[in-house]
Amino acid sequence: MTAPGTREAVAAPAPRPATGHRPAGYAVVGTRRVSFLLHRRAAVVAVLLAVLLAAVCLAYLCVGEDFVAPSDVLDVVLGRPSSQELVVGTLRLPRMAVGLLVGAAFGVAGGLIQTVARNPLASPDIIGVTQGAGALTVGAMTLGVTSYAVLPYLSVVGGLLAAGLVYVFAWRGGLHATRFVLIGIGFAVALRSVIQLFLTKGDYLVAQQAQVWMTGSLNGRGWAEAAPLGWALLALLPAVLWAARAQRTVSMDDDTATALGVRLGRTRLGLVALGVVLASMATGAAGPVDFVALLAPQIARRLTRTAQIPLLCSALLGAAIVVGGDLLARKLFAPTELPVGVLTAAVGAPYLIWLIIRGHRTRTRTAGRGRAAGPRSRASRAAGGEA
């Protein structure tokens, strides 16, 4: 290869590494027949996040109206007889379990939907999924359905309906990510007003109960919510494992992904459906805890520096945010208990604004770089022009 002209960054013929090239930063785990790629940094981050989450959980169980010693907490968690059985075992532990599961579900759901939309703004609470879940649930509440055995399922139905409508309206011979997000935001606003309508029309007491639910609260939640959510998440675990792998190819552009043999339409639909179900289930259990699905995947990705959103880290982080947030919401303004959703919204909203400003800046910057501008503006191609 003696091409004329200078070649950037490839100066002298550097000594070639003796080993072959793996995807940088990955370790290969397994044998010849069965092998898995493990992102080293993501694995380390996951362990650290797990430790952090454990610490947050311990603090959650210790701190409250009365402080409970960690040794007593451990006794209760391990099922040993303890004098703190009531405070820790009956009051705090079930509520924490709901927070853990809801946070993890939102974390994964946000990651999946953001991946498919290729847009960090496209989290289920921005594009109308949680609002759809909320509208149907609040609607049912005002019509007299108050059984917590039914409401979570209505949530899932509502979330799926909303996402389906957004999908249908955004479809124009193909799914264009930006259109999907914009139409989703429109639906979110519209559904919010539907919820308001139900709240003002409905019975006062029910409306008040629904209002608390709508801000996203763990207050009064327990095993009744945690158990079905836990079983459902366990059942969906194989799907999440599939999704973690499928994300790798969906994050490429459509043409490249298809050229690599990915059934793009089906894969995307599968990922979105899984994300919507997870987000709706979480909403059904604790209401729309705003911005967790937006924050967790993005922070997790910045920590791991992976090319796609690390789902496990995102789940751990989502759980830590919800449990930690609820701890603060309980403690900060005691004896008044703030809904955790208010706290996550207070943190999440500035982040969202920052994300939009930063996104705008990088877009204007790359637009000047000629080459980079082409690949990023896919609108013309998706609209179907001869390239």
Partner 1 sequence: MTETGATTAPTTGEPAPSRLTARELTLAYEDRTVVDGLDLDVPQGAVTVVVGPNACGKSTLLRALGRLLRPRNGAVFLDGADLARIPTKQIARSLGLLPQTPVAPEAITVADLVARGRQPHQHWWQQWSAQDERAVTEAMERTDVAELAERAVDELSGGQRQRVWIAMALAQETDLLLLDEPTTYLDIAHQVEVLDLVRQLNHERGRTVVAVLHDLNQAARYADHLVAMRAGRILAEGPPAEVVTAELVHEVFGLEAVVIPDPVTGSPLVVPGRPWAGAGA
Residues forming the site for partner 1 (CB under 8 A): 1-5, 7-10, 14, 16-17, 20-26, 28, 32-37, 173, 241-242, 245, 248-249, 251-253, 255-256, 258-263, 305, 307-308, 370-372, 374-376, 378, 381, 384-387
- Residue with Cβ nearer partner 1 (23 or 144): 23
The least distance separating partner 1 from the CB of residue 164, rounded to whole angstroms, comes to: 25
C-alpha to C-alpha distance for 281 and 204, rounded to whole angstroms:
26
The answer to whether 127 touches 180, Cβ cutoff 8 Å, is: yes
Instruction: Please provide residue 61's backbone torsions phi and psi, each rounded to the nearest 5 degrees.
Output: -80, -30
Measured from the CB atom, the residue of 17 and 335 that comes closer to partner 1 is 17
Closest distance between partner 1 and the C-beta of residue 26, in Å? 8
CA distance 249 to 261: 9
Beta bridge pairs of residue 26:
39
Strand partners, 175: 171
Tell me which residue has tokens 């853990």. Answer: 100
Q: In the complex with partner 1, which residue's Cβ is closer, 24 or 149?
A: 24
Exposed, middle or buried, 11 (CB in 10 Å: 0-12/13-18/19+)?
exposed
Taking the complex as a whole, how short is the minimal distance between the CB of residue 18 and partner 1, in angstroms?
A: 10
**Nearest distance from residue 5's CB to partner 1, in Å?**
3
CB of 362 to partner 1, least distance (A): 10
Beta carbon nearer to partner 1, 33 or 168: 33
CB of 353 to partner 1, least distance (A): 20
What does the chain come to in residues? 387
Torsion of CA 55, 61, 64, 68, to 10 degrees: -100
Strand partners, 102: none
Cβ nearer to partner 1, comparing 36 with 148: 36
Which residue, 39 or 330, is less far from partner 1 as judged by CB? 39
